[in-house]
Each structure stands twice: as C-alpha cells, then as structure tokens.
Structure 1
C-alpha cells in the first residue's frame, strides 16, 4: 500500500481547523505534521478542507439501484457497485446498507435481504467504502425469526434495527396512491396484498415475545441495536431495557429527550436538515440538533445529504463545522462501536476526504481516501509522486 502525504490543507484536528499535513501509511494515519515520507504520493490540499470520512449508519438509497422503477429489477452486484461509487463520491467511507427484511415479497422480501447480505460479503474486497449490513427487521415478520436469530449468533449482521411499519401500512390501505406504491413494490395483485396484510396483522400478540428473543440474541452477540420511529418515551425506555441503545428517528421531542436522558445515541436523517424539515411532517432535525437531542445524522435515502447537512448547519449558525461534522463522523462511529475511525488522529483508520467549500452551502468532494487508498479524485486535485532520496555518492 502506497504511503500518502496530504499537505497544505486545513485539517479538522480535534475541534479546530488547523494548517497541518497528514502522513498515511499501511491504512492508518501514521503522523500529523511530520516529515515527508521517503516515497509515496503527495496529495496537495491547498485551498481545501481535510475532514474525517463520513460514517453512514443508515442508508437505503441502494434500493433505487436495485429497483429504479416498480417491478424493474437489476442484479444486486451491479446495484452495490454503483451505490459504492455514489457513496464514496459524496465522502462516505463507511456505509451500512439499511436492508429491510419484511413479511412482504418483492423489494423488501426475505429473499432479497438474503441475496444482499451474500453479495455484500462477496463484494467487500472490491468496494471502496467499508461496506456493512444493517438489518432492518420488520417486527411482524415472525416467519423468519429463527433464520435471523442464527445470523445474529453468527455475527453476520453489523447493526440490527427493530422496525414496525404495520400501523402505517394499514393506514395506507385507505389512500389509493400510497397503497398502489406498496402493492407495486411487492409485485402482488391488490387483492392478494390485502389478504396478506390481514394475515400478518392477526399475529400481533406474538410480536412482543419475538422482539424479546431477538434482542437477547443481539445482546449475546454484542451487536449494536436500534429502534426505529419510537413514538413515545415509554417505547424508548422499553427498548433500552432490552439493550437497544440507539433511537433512530424518534418522532417527537419528548421521546428524543428520553433517549438523551438515558444516554442513547439519537439518529435523525440528514435529508431532513438539507430540506428544512421531515418529508413525513415529523420532527425537524435542525431543531433537535440545536437542543442537543441528536448525535448522529444518516443519509437515509440520499447519499449527498450528510455532507450538505453538516455545512448547512454551520452556515445557518446551528453548530460550528467541527461539531456539525461530528454528527456524520465521530458520532455515528461511536454509535456503531467503531473506535478506529471518525477523527483525524494518529493511529486512526485513514478515511479522509478533501472538500472544496468555497461555496459554503454547496461543498464539493475533491478527493477521498479510504483505509489509506486513494479511491476518488477529481480534476481539481493535485497529485504528485514523492521520490526516494538518492543514496549518498561513494567516497
């Protein structure tokens, strides 16, 4: 692996942007403000901001590469490679593909989740970003509980989330546009879909015990767990008591406050910040951030969003850039249990991005280094080779 010198830029060291150079060797940051390496590459960051790579613990934009139109499927390996390019070009160096394993067929089916997990495991050596599997388990999916328990025990799942979209599914049956979108996603006829929903809803009494068994398996395996769309402080406490320490998209402020009081990580969507509010009409993320009720921003459904959100928060005066950046780097790394990344410090994994932020609300990624490898570079970056010094002439 070639050593890299990142020189001439403003580096986010601790909470400050400072003039510094970084030496990258063997996949880690080997030194800060040290001498030039004997050989390698010199990446000139003059006029650019040098930041830790983005850690995205919840992104499902890859679904659009798998099924760009309802009923139109593309091979999973093709979708993953294209999603990797999109993520990396937006500064994401660690990506958790949030994969819904539902009771429904089609895009979010058990079969698709199995294929996606297998493809991620097979393709990891080819992908630029550190690519991991975030399983979003629909809690009414009782048929596949034993299989998921086995995956947890084998630690093939990197993050495990409890999702319950049954109430919203049932509510959508009376809204023709939303109902048709769900039906199209499954590939079923309307009548068959309605009958499936009725059968799944009838098993509600068995759901709490299933959640308890899965949470116990997650605890035993040491896998970080999330609860999705917590609706009340009571719901958040109940999940916390089962070892589920990440509150993902709490739907109101009182639930977010309960999460904060309990020391839980709190995740909101970066698109919420960029767009100025939730597309569902729920909690406004920038308000929660200003109140100290958010520790992680995730791409959710749009890979450019984390980069844009951090700079938007700084431009709007909500947080200084260093603290805003922590929401997409150190914060998610800590929540996911990844202590080797998220900051620019000696010994940390060399996940680094160079950003042209001359237009503060429209930052542009110029170069990306992932685990010490230069994986993305644009024409704006200046790259040269550092030659080894000549041996002294013999006397």
Structure 2
C-alpha cells in the first residue's frame, strides 16, 4: 500500500508513475487526498473537543472542592454535550478512515524508474539469455505425452480424485519431484536463507498484508466457514511472519526460504498453452523472501537474480530473463524479473520464476518496520522470488532431456533422485 503522506506530497508524481501501468489514477488520487484532508480535519476537531472536555473535568474538580456546586453542575452539562459530540466525531472519523483505506487498496505499487513502458507481455524487455537449446531426436514429444509413456504423472487420476489441474505424481516422477524440492532448499539454505515450514491456510489479514486481497480474491480458494484462504504461494505466510514486527537495523537483512504446495483457481485459463504441467490448480514451489534495509534492496534483488541463474545453470536448462513492463507487472511489485525456460518439444518459453522488489508497499500494509540508528521506526523493504516453481521446471527437464532411450536426469539432481534415467 502506498503511503498516504507520499501521495499527498507527490500527487503528480504518483499519477505519472501509475500511468506506466496504463492506469489513469487522477480521480483516485484526488479522492484519496480529499479523504485524507477530511480525516485530518475531523481528527483535529475531535482532539480539540477532547482537550476541552479534559479541561472542564479539571475545572469541575476544582469547583467541587471549593463548594461551588451550582457552577460545577453547569460545566457538567457542557461535558455531556461535548461527549456526545466527540462520540459522533469519532464514529465519523472511523468511517472516513475506512473509506480512505478502501481507496488506498485500489492503488497498485509505483513502478521503479527502470521498468519498461508497455501494455502486454510482448513488450517485456529481454535482459539476459543463457544455455543452448538442445536439438531433439525425431519423434520427441511434449511432457504430457512423455509422462503417459513412462507412467510418472497421471492427470486423469487427478481428475478422478479432485478435478482438472490436480495431477498425481507416481514412481520416478514423484521421486524427481521430491529431488527438485530438496535440491532447491539445499541451494537456498547454502546461500544463507533460513528454512521455515509454514501453514498452507492464511487468514484475511495475512492475505491483505501481502496484497493478495483485494486484488486477487477471485484467484484464491476460500473456506467460507472459517474465513481462511489456501495459499497461492509461500510468499504470503512467510512474509506475514514479520507482520506487526519492529526489527533492529542490525537484524537486517532477514533471509527466509520455504517449500509449500500452492493453490490457484486460475479462473478463465484454458487452451493448448495450459496443457499438462503448464498451468495447475495445485503445484509445488520453493520460495525465497527477504526483508531488507531500503538502501540495500535493489542490490539484494540483483543477488536474488544471480541466485536463480546459478540454479538454472546447474540444471543446464536454456533460459532467459525478462524485465517486466508496467502493464505486465503484478499489483504489489515495483520491479519484477521473470525467468523463462525454453521448452524445445513445445517450441515456446515457459515462465518458471518471478523475482520482485516490493519496496515499502507490503511493509506498509504489514506494519513491518525497523528501528534506525536514530531510534526512529522506518518501513522495511520486502522482496521475494521463486527458487523455483516445480511444474514448468519439471516440464523443461522432461522435454529437453528426452532421448530415444529415456529421460536423462540432470547431473546435479542424480544424488537426490537415486537414478540416472527414466526409462
């Protein structure tokens, strides 16, 4: 959430920055500023009444001590009226504050200066490519055919148990899945990230804290009975570990990693581009989250990008990195890099990671602060990234490593799998 003070003092800058997201924020910004002025003037009036009421209470005490009960009675009548007025003003202030918060929730984060202008994914900026695209043998197949051939993932069985988008991993497919999870976690912990296990359900406050609500309400599975949400990513519970927390400056940075299943409704997703593992309602992901000093967050973002690059280099998968344009960025992000693996069998790029800096946007919602050297509380910066999401990494391995003899396992995964080939 954008800070109201910043919006009030930089209205034109906010409107111009959000235009990069192809959003005309003029009317919303004006409403926010007007509501904030109304809130502040109401609060000043309320404070004055409370101060007057407190003064009268002291005066009444003095009059009672001096035996001037009739004068004290007159003042008591005034305090009754002031209390009624203060109650009404307090209720009005609460309503204005709620309206203001609702408006603030509609404003996305401001894009960083280096975010490219653009409306569609085609306008994202390709900033890096690595790896050779393999030449596959004649008759090479996409992963949804390979998994049937080797009986390692069963999509139909998942439909029987739950529905489309909930695959069942079997035999060497399940072991390869587990190998990837352990490998990713080991890489992250070796890089200094502290592993945690977190709940797979979150409450409404947690979903608001990281920006899933109200922006992505329709994409989350919701248990109405207990008012809990299945997590769309480990980012939500992990970042909320720090909700309402004040860190000392010496505690920064805080690095955390977690493996969780992820649940997404993906409403409206259909077509050939979502076949097989390309888009699921339940999938596994290993996440990295950082809480950083504002002065260091973009250096930390570069470090996260290098960390994911190292993993993909070890897996020997051809990949590229895109800097997302304003129109393709997530609601909460100030700057996002997408990693995509090339699927030779599908002849297309598959997104397998997003690494983002949210600056103070999430921290403002979370009330996540640190105490600086002067003893003042400052909002921290939060960052997160996939390291990595499994389905499309697995699809890339199955398709790019296929041979006439079977699917060869990348060297780095063989100690985790316990086998060299799926045949």
What TM bracket, shorter-length normalisation?
A: under 0.3
Bigger Rg over Cα: 2
Choose between structure 1 and 2: higher helix proportion.
2
Q: TM-score scaled to structure 1, two decimals? A: 0.25
Choose between structure 1 and 2: higher strand proportion.
1
